[in-house]
Structure 1
């Protein structure tokens, strides 16, 4: 906070301030046949089906459901009778929801009308704060030299905020908002690129002037120093000026003011914020930095993700696929799968089941509709082989952890699981979109598609094919993903392809299993849609 210069880089501010938060092997990929469990694994089904695990509070795949779930989570967080496990899950999804809504202003006409009037002011402040911090965010290709530790207990922090308010006249909620944005209530233990330190991120020289001889790493001493600093800079006369002096950014001032306003109107909101986690904004998307993360120097994000997902698991790739990968990397990013045209169709290339250990497979000699999409998305994230492997791990597996349980088995997992690979835009494209509650993995005829995995309750939105007209197509972008809606309640889609707007009209670039094709082809979009009940549309984040 010295000499009118920002204390640390704005990418770091936004990464912490987001404080936080927030693929699929085919369950089905045939153009003509409904998929069965054998299409997803090379191992025989488990002999017995365990009872389904309780549903998680996962982020929904469409803005309507995100809004409704957010309202439910806000109520849970305000109910003192909610168990801690439920509170934690609600806070994590609340955080993920505000991050997603903040990134998508085009959702505002859909989401905001669904927020009850009693929650609307707090909703607006949270969304505005995310957008202010998003302006400050610049994705990085490295992760920081930080340690992530457990936060200082909420009751202890509240005592320090109140003590500081009494001593210097700076309201507790502004101190809490600064503490949230700077280090996630002390979760981030590290030095900024500018040299700022401690829970409230002081430059050592500034702390020497305002810390009263205390410890820059002490929660109490640093919070008290923040109160002294803000008071000395005229907080009582001009709050915004004092906050600007704390970090020279008007976006920062507005974000602090928004979070402070939420806590002033509803002090219980502090408990929700205190449960938020630390995410870092990178070129590979938001990366969760869990408690226990510790790096002495910045680390390439691709290397970190690769180490998290494949440190004990070699990549299974043939010499021929290695050659193909080298060629694909040489052609560069952004070709929307054009280099795969003519690649033979091949099912059952992934290895893993409830009984058989998962392997990270790269099979480029043949692809099915889902692995085709996996590889296209991984190539977007890669300039070399290591980055491709890291990108594939992020795209194919939840939280970048290579395991059968973490594999994104369903198309909409790209939007529902972290890190987010795509956003479900189906309901925003047409008023004729239909929402259906499904129990993914549970066959309508009985049993499970994927033995050993839980049933996943999820609302899936689709546009009926006879309503998927030129008005809808006019809103699509080349590179959007279109899934063929599945009538079966245990599946979201049966096939996936990439929308491409060509001079000859819109096509679905897809790995087709039809006997007439049996390879990656460009199918005329409207001709294809006439063969399926409807379409689910996801827009990739990259």
Structure 2
């Protein structure tokens, strides 16, 4: 008798990232380079989109997850990127000859098992058929990993079923109890028992209680002859050979390295539909099935905060041939965006005052739009990952624009570009710019100002975005502007906070270069 049939088998997750505040500008003065005034940068990055980058990032994250000195912030970000990497690599078997050779020997077995589990669960989900609605579930925070491990060990001692197999089932069925809801077949609780089977093996316990459900799973598997025929017992739990393989894969990873329980425990819930994969975050709560389009529209279109004067300015700018030039003379204004870890995010359009980053946001959105609705849609995509207006999705690092909004061409426009490794969000003197958010190791390039010669200037294109390289290891840039080919030479068009300016101005680029250590160049993706 099949114990359970979950409507969702954990097929992947979305990497979340949060950030707040913009790095303060570094601008030309009459003397030495001003010291950058750092502000909170983005603590996480999106996963790479190519097999080489994915594999290299995955190796870094796998090692961080096994490092006992890693902080909770680092572990959380690494686990979510790990899941996203396996999700993407699982979808692309044609990348195997490129990605797999980049995995070091000590991680290769774990890599192979995770990829195999991912592909089996994906195939199992697809074979069940996909719909265009989301489930009537609640997504809740799971019990702590240490508490669950105690229950797995207790069940192993009582039933003889290895703790790692019980944990793997708990992961696949409900993400360690994140899913609070009934499957399409009627299965319930963190281990997804059918009521009839629970009556036989639940020992009078609560089907929704983690301890009771885990102990019952041990009793059921033992009764199905797990000790003599493991795979047959697992098949009786969920009658699919692919399910059995996935459970065995994850169990093998956990048995080889129990630290991976913490990594898996941090994975998110993602629901696969005909409209694509939809993240169901903690806090998701739907009393009835809901169309994907309705759910996405509800979350993607919060109130727009825009004054009547800004609306009139927007209409004028939409009709202008040179959006960046329309801002010349508009006052500088910091901290115009609304949203934080405790305050709901709003989509702000303030064209009466801009800082260097909102200026870039607005210019790029104007270039991609023909009317107000098009501008707002473009602004959502530029300012927020996946176009979701939320504090944790906001892009605050200049390099967060790559590769979706712009391509980082720094290393291609100069053979003297310098590659550096940074720990974004980590203050050089210790501590975090944004407490509670992870440190993000990243590799980037910059061109030293002394190396920005006529050859480099000749290959820059009007509309390229230029960032002032930050020497602080926790920031990427300290100021942003736009390259313009002026009649008297190259110009750095930027929202300047200097006392002498306090507005959007054109600064001779060569003058600006004398005040900063170097530049980063992003070229818009059109």
* Range into which the TM-score falls when normalised by the shorter chain: 0.5 to 0.7
CA contact (8 A) 2:365 2:378 kept: no
Q: What does 1:4-23 correspond to in 2, within 5 Å?
A: 7-9=5-7, 12-14=8-10, 17-18=11-12, 21=15
161, 172, 180: which one pairs with 1:170? 161
CA contact (8 A) 1:313 1:360 kept: yes
268, 273, 277: which one pairs with 2:264? 273
Number of equivalent positions: 420
2:214 corresponds in structure 1 to 223
What's the CA shift for 1:456? 8.8
54, 57, 67: which one pairs with 1:69? 57
How big is each residue's C-alpha offset from its partner over 1:205-235, in whole Å with a ceiling of 9 and x where there is no partner? 1211221222111111111221222222232
What's the CA shift for 1:145? 1.8
User: Quick one: distance in 1 between partners of 2:110 and 2:408?
Assistant: 25
CA contact (8 A) 2:189 2:207 kept: yes
Q: Which runs of 5+ in 1 are unaligned?
A: 23-36, 38-46, 321-341, 363-367, 379-384, 427-433, 442-454, 462-482, 493-512, 516-534
1:197 partnered with 2:188: yes
User: Quick one: distance in 1 between partners of 2:256 and 2:286?
Assistant: 38
1:116 partnered with 2:110: no
What's the CA shift for 1:173? 0.5
Q: Which runs of 5+ in 2 are unaligned?
A: 17-24, 26-33, 313-318, 339-345, 350-358, 410-416, 425-438, 446-462, 471-475, 478-483, 487-520
Structure 1 pair 258–408 and aligned structure 2 pair: CA distance change class (3 A): same
How big is each residue's C-alpha offset from its partner over 1:21-71, in whole Å with a ceiling of 9 and x where there is no partner? 56xxxxxxxxxxxxxx9xxxxxxxxx9964143663424425434333322
2:431 corresponds in structure 1 to none
What's the CA shift for 1:485? 10
How big is each residue's C-alpha offset from its partner over 1:255-312, in whole Å with a ceiling of 9 and x where there is no partner? 111100101111221122122222333425442412x222212233333334334333
User: Quick one: distance in 1 between partners of 2:83 and 2:74?
Assistant: 14
1:154 partnered with 2:145: yes
User: Quick one: distance in 1 between partners of 2:333 and 2:167?
Assistant: 46
Q: CA RMSD in A?
A: 5.6
196, 211, 215: which one pairs with 2:202? 211
CA contact (8 A) 1:425 1:539 kept: no
1:479 corresponds in structure 2 to none
17, 33, 58: which one pairs with 2:45? 58
Structure 1 pair 230–438 and aligned structure 2 pair: CA distance change class (3 A): closer
1:298 partnered with 2:283: no
User: Quick one: distance in 2 between partners of 1:116 and 1:536?
Assistant: 32
SS at match of 2:138: strand
User: Quick one: distance in 2 between partners of 1:538 and 1:233?
Assistant: 59
160, 163, 179: which one pairs with 1:188? 179
How big is each residue's C-alpha offset from its partner over 1:78-103, in whole Å with a ceiling of 9 and x where there is no partner? 23333333322322222222222222
SS at match of 1:194: coil
1:235 corresponds in structure 2 to 226
User: Quick one: distance in 2 between partners of 1:425 and 1:131?
Assistant: 32
1:287 corresponds in structure 2 to 279
User: Quick one: distance in 1 between partners of 2:116 and 2:219?
Assistant: 28
What's the CA shift for 1:188? 1.4
SS at match of 1:126: helix
2:20 corresponds in structure 1 to none
2:115 corresponds in structure 1 to 127
User: Quick one: distance in 2 between partners of 1:144 and 1:353?
Assistant: 44
What's the CA shift for 1:162? 1.7
Structure 1 pair 407–253 and aligned structure 2 pair: CA distance change class (3 A): same
1:91 partnered with 2:85: no
1:397 partnered with 2:401: no
Structure 1 pair 373–159 and aligned structure 2 pair: CA distance change class (3 A): same
2:517 corresponds in structure 1 to none
1:355 partnered with 2:329: no
TM value normalised by structure 2: 0.61
What's the CA shift for 1:537? 11
Structure 1 pair 255–307 and aligned structure 2 pair: CA distance change class (3 A): same
How big is each residue's C-alpha offset from its partner over 1:294-340, in whole Å with a ceiling of 9 and x where there is no partner? 221223333333433433336999999xxxxxxxxxxxxxxxxxxxx
User: Quick one: distance in 1 between partners of 2:204 and 2:160?
Assistant: 21
TM value normalised by structure 1: 0.59
User: Quick one: distance in 2 between partners of 1:2 and 1:456?
Assistant: 44
User: Quick one: distance in 2 between partners of 1:539 and 1:209?
Assistant: 60
CA contact (8 A) 1:157 1:219 kept: yes
Bigger drift between 131-140 and 264-273 goes to 131-140
SS at match of 1:234: coil
125, 145, 154: which one pairs with 2:136? 145
What's the CA shift for 1:393? 4.3
Structure 1 pair 361–160 and aligned structure 2 pair: CA distance change class (3 A): closer
SS at match of 1:13: coil
